[in-house]
Structures are given as structure tokens and as C-alpha cells.
Chain A
């Protein structure tokens, strides 16, 4: 069964600190992996998308990595800001690309002053 597991479930960090969120998946065959940021009560917003041939992709203070061999991805947030408080969702698509995305349950990040 295609699954996406994220850890930790929740995380609290001080403003200005860095953090790394993890994503493991069993989706096969793999097409692409996306990280989304979802503010409470809002729709998810795309941060990065990577295909199997990409190892890393950055979007400002967000850097995603992908190891397609071990089926692991991470999202690193640098110099966190209060506005980074949100759920971060890892989403994996099967190779056909036409099948639905498989969503992780997300990591709830709280950045405090």
C-alpha cells in the first residue's frame, strides 16, 4: 500500500533556529515529491517539487532533499520566523502522474519568540 510517513508529528522551536522535517514513503513507482505549507484553516501552498533525478531544491529559507534510493526526503527550514508556524505536508505522486497524490499527515511546526 502506498504510504507517506512524516516525523516528527509536531515540533516547537525558537524563532531564528533551524529545523529539519522528515518524510519516508513507500509509493512506487515514484514520480515526484512535493512539500506543502498549510496554515491553519487554509489551503496547502506548494513549497518545492522534486522528481526522482533531483537531490535538492531550495525556495528561500526552505531546502528540500530527496534520496530516491532510500525513499526519504527532508525539509530544512533556516532562520525560522514566527510566520513559519504551520503544518508541513509531504506529498508523493506515483509514476503515471495521473493518479492521485499520496499525502502524509504533516508535521505541525510552532515557532515561538
Chain B
């Protein structure tokens, strides 16, 4: 157990729907990152939060949004889902955004 908890582990939904992925960082970590990994592709950075505020933005679609709550857990919202959104979504956390990145085990999203 890495200490980073992602739920759910698997999610199957239909095109056009909206889903929410949840991430609880390691205790004490202030920074949360979201990544998307499509089949046989590298990890693509989506967005970073640090202590509740957005710190950096990557290739995140306008249909996607995220937030980090006061208790530091984070949610990634995916709407108007398309088949191409099927992927593994990873959350990572770090104490200060510099070192000690720890990844969760991911949420596998399947859009049918």
C-alpha cells in the first residue's frame, strides 16, 4: 500500500456520462497530481493542486475538471465522456511538490 488511495478501482460507464474519481493523498502530503495513461502510452500530466490551490495545468480537456478540498483529498471530474477517454487515471502526491512523489494504484475507466 503506497498510502495514496484512489477510488473506485474500476469504472464502466456509457458515452456522454459524467464520473468523479477520488484521490486521498499520503498523510502529510500537500500536493496532488492527476495523470492519464491510455493503452500502451506514457503518463500524461493533467493537473496539479497544492494545498487546495491549482498549481499547474497540463493537457487537461475542458470537459475535465478537478479540485482539492480542505482535507487535501482531490476529485477529478470527467464529463461528456467519449470512448477515447477510456484509460487508467493515476493520482500522485508529494509533501512539497518537489520530491517524494508517490502514486496510487489508479482508477481504470472504461467508456462503452
Contact = CB atoms under 8 A, between A and B. Distances in A.
A32 interface: yes
Interface in A12-46: 31-32, 34, 36, 41-46
B103 A101 contact: no
Tell me the interface secondary structure of chain A in the complex: loop
Contacts of A45: 2, 103
Contacts of A42: 105-106
B45 to A, nearest CB: 4
Interface of A: 31-32, 34, 36, 41-46, 49, 89, 93, 97-101, 103-106
Nearest to A44: B103
B64 interface: no
Given A42-B106, A43-B92, A103-B42, 18 more contacts: A43-B2, A43-B104, A43-B105, A43-B106, A44-B90, A46-B102, A49-B99, A89-B42, A89-B43, A97-B97, A97-B98, A98-B50, A98-B55, A98-B98, A100-B45, A100-B56, A101-B101, A103-B44
B101 A105 contact: no
Contacts of B41: 105
Nearest to B41: A105
